[in-house]
Chains A and B, each alone.
Chain A
Amino acid sequence: MKILVPVKRVVDYNVKIRVKPDGSGVELANVKMSMNPFDEISVEEALRLKEAGKAEEVVVVSIGPAKAEETLRTALAMGADRAILVETDDTVEPLAVAKILKGVVEAENPGLVIVGKQAIDDDANQTGQMLAALLGWAQGTFASKVEIGADKATVTREVDGGLQTIDIKLPAVVTTDLRLNEPRYASLPNIMKAKKKPLDKKTPADFNVSTAARLKVLKTEEPEGRKAGVKVKSVAELVEKLKTEAGVL
């Protein structure tokens, strides 16, 4: 089985982003970029399945600017076999990403696509579900455990009330939650090796997908800030303030 893993280049999770003063968006110039944390988890899961003999090849794909090649190289350094960059400078919404991924799936015929639960920039949490819909495949979202059987996968999902386990027929789309695994770091020799691994370049037009936005962004603004309050000296003072000043007890 081949596993396809989409990886997105996003602002590093440690960076506190700034909104541009003119409200046109978020400042992305000179900001540290990294692989979306959930996608690192996806790559790790795919590699573990390969190491366990459940998969033969791990292909990573990113839709984004030329610099997204760095993100793909990171995935290759972790151990992925091959990469595809679908190059565009447009901001591509989840629906269009899913349509492009559908095209990649039709070309590559993977038995499993492992997608991140959400991208930490748009916080959309849509792409995997949309891809499954477009392919008419089953989806196992927010996975904290994945077991691959003969023609099905058993997926334990993190849901509001606890955990739910489902069986999904393969081929399928799985989306990864934080507790699925702990991603490995790429070793230096593997980083060097990754530079020579194959990377194919495509464009959205190759898949006949328009990247025109369906959601018009009218404005981007800072959230209402919260000010630091006061420090209290003791538990007694805290309880007193919560009762009389805040009125919440």
Chain B
Amino acid sequence: MAILLLAEHDNTTVSDQTAKALSAAQKIGGDIHVLVAGKGASAAASAAAKLSGVSKVLLAESDDLANNLAEPLAALIVSLAGSYDTIIAAATSVAKNVMPRVAALLDVMQVSEITEVVSADTFKRPIYAGNAIQTVQSTDAKKVITVRTASFASAGEGGSAAVESISAAGNPGVSSHVADALSSSDRPELTSAKIIVSGGRAVGSAEKFKEVILPVADKLGAAVGASRAAVDAGYAPNDWQVGQTGKVVAPQLYIACGISGAIQHLAGMKDSKVIVAINKDEEAPIFQVADYGLVADIFEALPELEKAL
């Protein structure tokens, strides 16, 4: 059984989420090949080759593949699919975009966001914002799978796979890239951070987010998250949203500040090891999942916390 793992990379390194999806692939079992698609991505391919348990890295480079457009990337993966029983990727925005396209082209029902590998064809996955867990068995000949990375540890290094250059599969030519507006930050990434400080509607403005949330995060070397209400109101950028329709995180410590604890938010953080909630309403549902609850005004508690750290 051979497995093709689609790598998420920035041309030089392979993301930690890919290393986590690799752990899931290892549990499925079989020869694991990693696909690095892009342009000028040979350093990322070398990095992928060092991951433990990878037996080969396929490097496909072309202008068409430079921006992860779904149509040419799906065409490439489908062109390789004949040699694999399983095609797998971390459930990042790139994979969520392209993998269902691959699945449909292969006439396969994708298994989305698995949290556990029961066997090579049977997986657990959350439904209803994580309020139920389904065990599903795929009856398709090929499996197309995305992995919820918060549920898997990162595979280590120590591999020395060969890198093989392959050609792109051509571009259907129906889409083109216009621009990226990516937020750059020195803070750790949400999905691999050990500590996350998250702010909700209570924060009140983008300025207040900077004033009360960021200093605590920086003191802790933490990533910053937000509720949907805070993002919708423009207090925080969209890529900070944690929840059912945002990012799913499982840090060692999650500090929820002025967040009520709607099920859609809990869906994205309730697997954190330790949860702290600071909320001035002692009845807030967030306290039902918090290991440590502090009933307080965030505008008093957070500056105090920052000083105490």
Contacts and interface: CB of A to CB of B under 8 A. Distances in A.
Interface stretch (A62-70, A77-85, A121-129, A189-197): A121-129
Contact of A125 (B96, B133, B239): B96
A117 B245 contact: yes
B309 to A, nearest CB: 7
Given A139-B101, A223-B132, A231 B175 contact: no
B226 to A, nearest CB: 13
A223 B127 contact: no
B43 interface: no
A218 B122 contact: yes
Nearest to A226: B289
Given A162-B183, A235-B304, A93 B109 contact: yes
A125 B264 contact: no
A159 interface: yes
A95 B108 contact: yes
Q: Is the interface of B mostly helix, strand, loop or mixed?
A: mixed
B254 to A, nearest CB: 10
A229 B293 contact: yes
B129 interface: yes
A216 B134 CA distance: 10
Interface residues of B, number: 90
Contacts of B174: 137-138, 168-169, 172
Contacts of B135: 217-221
B273 interface: yes
A118 B267 CA distance: 14
Contacts of B140: 214
Interface string B47-71: 0000000000000000000010111
Given A123-B126, A144-B238, A214-B139, A228 B289 contact: yes
A142 to B, nearest CB: 7
Interface stretch (B31-39, B110-118, B197-205): B110-118
A11 B109 contact: no
B127 A133 contact: no
B41 interface: no
Interface in B282-296: 282, 287-296
A81 to B, nearest CB: 27
A102 to B, nearest CB: 9
A162 B180 contact: yes
Contacts of B231: 179
Interface stretch (A12-20, A51-59, A198-206): A12-20
A209 interface: no
A163 B308 contact: no
Contacts of B129: 120, 123
A160 interface: yes
Interface in B86-145: 92-94, 96-105, 107-113, 122, 126-140
Contacts of A160: 92-94, 191, 239, 247
A47 B138 CA distance: 38
A125 B138 contact: no
A166 B244 CA distance: 25
A142 B93 contact: yes
A215 B137 contact: yes
A126 B308 contact: no
B182 A215 contact: no
Contacts of A122: 127
B244 A129 contact: no
A138 B177 CA distance: 12
Nearest to B174: A138
Nearest to B228: A178
Given A133-B104, A216-B136, A242-B274, A162 B253 contact: no
A94 interface: yes
Contacts of B309: 239, 249
B305 interface: yes
Contacts of B102: 133
A230 interface: yes
Interface of A: 11, 13, 16-17, 19, 26, 93-95, 98, 117-118, 120-134, 136-142, 144, 154, 157-169, 172, 177-179, 213-223, 226, 228-232, 234-236, 238-239, 241-242, 246, 248-249
Which 4 residue pairs spanning A and B have beta carbons closest together?
Answer: A214-B109, A229-B291, A130-B104, A129-B100
11 contacts: A129-B99, A130-B100, A160-B239, A166-B175, A214-B108, A221-B135, A226-B270, A226-B289, A231-B282, A248-B195, A249-B220
Given A126-B100, A167-B178, A228-B287, 20 more contacts: A117-B245, A130-B100, A133-B105, A137-B174, A142-B93, A162-B181, A163-B238, A168-B174, A178-B245, A213-B139, A215-B139, A216-B137, A217-B134, A218-B137, A223-B126, A223-B131, A230-B291, A235-B304, A242-B292, A248-B274
